[in-house]
Amino acid sequence: METSVGAGLNEYLTTPVFLDWCHGKMIGEPVQESFKTLHDLKRVFRDSSALSNLGPSREVYRVRWWSPVNPGTEGGLFWGLTLLQPGKVGDEYFMTHGHFHAKRTCAEFYGTVSGNGMLIQMNAERRTWGGIMEPGSLHYVRGENAHRIANIGSIPLVVWACWPTDAGYNYEPIADQGFSACLVERDGKPVFIAVE
Q: What pLDDT does 9 receive?
A: 56
Going from the C-alpha of 12 to that of each of 6, 8, 9, 24, 129, the distances in angstroms are: 11, 8, 6, 28, 44
Q: What pLDDT does 7 receive?
A: 53
What is the Cα–Cα distance from 182 to 84, expressed in whole angstroms?
17
Q: What pLDDT does 12 receive?
A: 57
Q: What pLDDT does 29 receive?
A: 87
Name all domains of the chain by residue range, CATH numbers in brackets: 16-194 (2.60.120.10)
Residue 10: DSSP 8-state? G
Distance of CA 173 to the CA centre of its chain: 17
Q: What pLDDT does 6 receive?
A: 54
Q: What pLDDT does 5 receive?
A: 53
Q: What pLDDT does 91 receive?
A: 97
Using CA of residue 172, residue 121, residue 25, residue 167, what is the dihedral sign? negative
Q: What pLDDT does 66 receive?
A: 95
Q: What pLDDT does 10 receive?
A: 56
Q: What pLDDT does 22 receive?
A: 83
Q: Please list the pLDDT of the chain residue by residue as tens digits (196 residues).
A: 455 555 555 555 567 899 998 888 999 989 999 999 999 999 999 999 999 999 999 999 999 999 999 999 999 999 999 999 999 999 999 999 999 999 999 999 999 999 999 999 999 999 999 999 999 999 999 999 999 999 999 999 999 999 999 999 999 999 889 999 999 999 999 999 998 7
Reading across the β-sheet that carries 157-164, which strands appear in turn? Answer: 31-37, 59-66, 77-84, 157-164, 108-114, 138-141
